[in-house]
Amino acid sequence: MVRVKNTRPAPASKKAAAKTARRTTQRKVKKKPQQRQMPSWFRHVIAGGIVCLFLAAFFYFFIYPYSYRWKPCYGFKAYGVCMPSGYAVHGIDVSHHQGDIDWKMLAQTRQGKFPIHFVFMKASEGGDYGDKSFAANFDSAQSHGFIRGAYHFYNPKTDPIRQADFFIHSVKLDSGDLPPVLDIEKKGKSEEQLRHDLKLWLDRIEQHYKVKPILYTSYKFKLRYLNDSVFNSYPYWIAHYYVDSVKYKGDWKFWQHTDVGVLPGIREKVDLNIFNGSLEELRSMTLKE
């Protein structure tokens, strides 16, 4: 009988076998590239930036609008704010945002040091929105002896003639009422188109009521978009908050100097205005028979 040699390799030692297995595993598993970590100082910068943005937004929306109240008042303080000095004729403007107004209580302000003589009320917006409080406010203002006015909040995306006709349909002005007001706060279209459309609205309103409308807009908006001789011919009602005096160099009739007034008979904050002239001059602006 011929003996066949055993060709199988001799078993390796346990230590050598384990070493071989580790090498095989290392070859099969690819090493993941090590990710670079963000430096700790950079993470602190990002976190600090987020905190600063949050604080800035909080100050702008919740602190700044009321900071005017905390400034040193070198004149007289009334209705929760420091009143502009040198003006005798005061007024407010309201909409449905002020809720139900106690007009009898509001009328009592005329016995105080800063009597409220005139009230502008929001009548319409765009081409189809009527302020739900306008009719009641408009009638109550007249019955309680206030000089009253109505304003239209302009929508640059809506046809100007449609907006003018909607205001005309919504507002019947009587003798003794202030001229209608165009409230423009948004550009919407190109500057040239905006000016063209606004002039259409103003002309249509003037044609109907036989009086030049009042133009209401902010100080910055007027200088940027409506600083034109065409618009300078209209009585200007300037909105410029939290400043001690009007910075606008042109002629102006009304100044809305704050939006955080507190008045008896009105639960919500209200815009306060002054007229640049005497009470007789204000009455001379109103519509005649």
The tens digit of pLDDT for each residue in 133-184 reads: 999 999 999 999 999 999 999 999 999 999 999 999 999 999 999 999 999 9
Higher pLDDT, 102 or 243: 102
User: How large is the angle between the packed helices 160-170 and 191-209, nearest 10 degrees?
Assistant: 30
Is position 165 annotated as part of the catalytic site?
A: no
Tell me which range, 31-45, 53-67, 121-135, 233-247, is most confidently predicted by mean pLDDT: 121-135
C-alpha distances in Å from residue 156, one per residue of 184, 198, 230, 232, 251: 8, 9, 18, 20, 25
Write down the pTM of the prediction.
Answer: 0.77
At residue 40, what are phi and psi to the nearest 5 degrees?
A: -60, -35
Which has more pLDDT, 177 or 40?
Answer: 177
The residue from 93, 125, 197, 271 that is catalytic is 93
* Arch. (CATH architecture) of 88-100+121-285: Alpha-Beta Barrel (3.20)
Quick one: pLDDT band at residue 11, thresholds 50, 70, 90?
low
Q: Tell me what the pLDDT averaged over the chain comes to.
A: 87
- Rounded to the nearest angstrom, the gap between the alpha carbon of residue 274 and the centroid of all alpha carbons in its chain is 20
Q: Is 192 a catalytic residue?
A: no
* Residue of 100, 128, 139, 185 marked catalytic: 185
DSSP string computed for 199-242? HHHHHHHHHHHSSPPEEEEEHHHHHHH--SHHHHTSPEEEE--S
Q: Predicted confidence band at 20 (pLDDT cuts at 50, 70, 90)?
A: low
Q: Identify the pLDDT of residue 58.
A: 73
Q: What share of the chain is helix, strand, coil (3-state, %, to 5)?
A: 40, 20, 40
Residue 220 has pLDDT above 60, yes or no: yes
